[in-house]
Structure 1
């Protein structure tokens, strides 16, 4: 089983959107028995809350389920549990590496989402909690999730 964790600040906008989009992609490709998807936040403000209403409205428009997604905080054990830990911005990556300590130093399993989209100008996924632009985030997430699945397929050809 390949395990993917998306991480943002509060785990109500960007990372649950990525979780839902990637989970939908995995389902449509019939890979649910081979790829597990989750999301978490570096902060604890929204623990156990559903995704932000803007994220839910956008996912509803695209027919993508967010059932069962609830905000949680990144845990030390996540480093051992997940194969890919995908951070939505530089601050999230820094905070995740701080949680994981020295074992995360230089570890390729922790990387920024926008590394999947190197041709884009921004190095961070903008936070729609502050910008209000959920559509922009969705476009980045949809394209990046396709590329992440391609990366996983290349890295694990016998599993996926």
Structure 2
């Protein structure tokens, strides 16, 4: 059994690839790459094929996450079947996902920050029009929420493996 997690923001060049990088490292450090996979996508097609924003790469790299291989892509209808958990960065992107997601897969859609332990914010603000401090704050939120997601999924995976 493989659990697949998709992180979604608007353009797939800031928040979602950074979340993918954070989550991927948690999975790799736990040696669970065969049981948990991750990807990221955007709700819009503004940056298709582009690498993550340089500022997102910079703040990620400073904390040991390499997101340079990520390339922007748009959410597809097949993503709703393929992924087990689809985590939106904010209300706008969650609303868009809810509009295009088939009814049988609606339960997979959630806000990422629901899983945060240290921050009470409901969403991860888009840092695109801000300075480096906006990207640093973004990464703080992503690390917190991704840790929460990982704790829940890894516990399930380990229970499944033990059964």
Using structure 1 for the length normalisation, give the TM-score. 0.92
Whether the 8 Å contact between 1:87 and 1:113 is mirrored in structure 2 is yes
Whether the 8 Å contact between 1:128 and 1:134 is mirrored in structure 2 is yes
Structure 2 counterparts to residues 68-87 of structure 1, below 5 A: 68-87=69-88
In the aligned structure 2, how far is the partner of 1:56 from the partner of 1:153? 26
Using structure 2 for the length normalisation, give the TM-score. 0.90
Point out 4+ residue stretches in structure 1 off by more than 3 angstroms: 118-121
In the aligned structure 2, how far is the partner of 1:53 from the partner of 1:138? 14
In the aligned structure 1, how far is the partner of 2:58 from the partner of 2:34? 28
In the aligned structure 1, how far is the partner of 2:11 from the partner of 2:96? 12
In the aligned structure 2, how far is the partner of 1:121 from the partner of 1:144? 10
1:65 and 2:54 matched: no
SS at match of 1:120: coil
Q: CA deviation at 1:67?
A: 4.1
1:38 and 2:39 matched: yes
Residue 127 of structure 1 is matched in structure 2 by 126
Gaps of 5+ in 1: none
In the aligned structure 1, how far is the partner of 2:104 from the partner of 2:48? 26
RMSD of aligned alpha carbons: 1.6
In the aligned structure 1, how far is the partner of 2:75 from the partner of 2:161? 26
In the aligned structure 2, how far is the partner of 1:38 from the partner of 1:79? 13
Q: CA deviation at 1:68?
A: 2.4
Select the structure that is richer in helix. Answer: 2
1:49 and 2:50 matched: yes
Change over 3 Å in CA distance of 1:3–1:127 after alignment to 2: same
Give the aligned length.
158
In the aligned structure 2, how far is the partner of 1:66 from the partner of 1:97? 27
Whether the 8 Å contact between 2:127 and 2:138 is mirrored in structure 1 is yes
Residue 100 of structure 1 is matched in structure 2 by 101
Q: CA deviation at 1:104?
A: 4.1
Change over 3 Å in CA distance of 1:149–1:41 after alignment to 2: same
